Amino acid sequence: MELEIDEKLVDLIQSATKKAFVKLFNEHDEHFYYCSLITTGEGLCPFITAWSQEALNREAESADDVEEAKYYLKWSYDESPYFAYGDEFFSEVKKIFIERSRQTNSESEIAKEVSIRINSMERAMHNLDIEGIFGAGEQRMHVVINAEFMPPDYTNTERALRLNPRKALDEWLEEIAEEIM
């Protein structure tokens, strides 16, 4: 089944996302294992989040139980020090999302628009992956990428399965994946 996307949205989202991740990777020479593009259930303007092994260690080191802190922080999009990193690159995306929202009136139009937005986000992440933004070969096997709704739902797992090599997903699937319906 082909997912409905909007090529203009894909291009805008992909450009902003690429700039944000490139800035992150250039400013932080770390071992990233989670890189995601996040939106809300209402399909608001997306933002990136990421975790690296180094960031996880830094964030957990002051906890009473470091291993427990790591477990709870490991996949937390909003507790990452890289939450909404490069947000300045998404101003055009935000503008287009607002314009498109003004054109949707019924619940079915809104649901269709949210679906197009998340599908376009997924395609943008896929395209960036193909470009090698998230690594290649063995390095890529250690990075989970996704386009996600927060709060999470089962469609996040479906997108993760489409976007990642299975080997890259083992821990993510075991630790936080939502059950597919």
For the stretch 118-128, pLDDT in tens is: 999 999 999 99
How far apart CA 140 and CA 32 sit, in angstroms, is: 10
Whether 177 shows a pLDDT value over 90: the answer reads no
> In the prediction, which pLDDT does 179 show?
85
* Cβ pair 127, 147 in contact under 8 A: no
Whether 69 shows a pLDDT value over 70: the answer reads yes
How far apart CA 88 and CA 70 sit, in angstroms, is: 29
In the predicted model, what is the mean pLDDT of the chain? 96
Whether 1 shows a pLDDT value over 70: the answer reads no
pTM for this structure?
A: 0.96
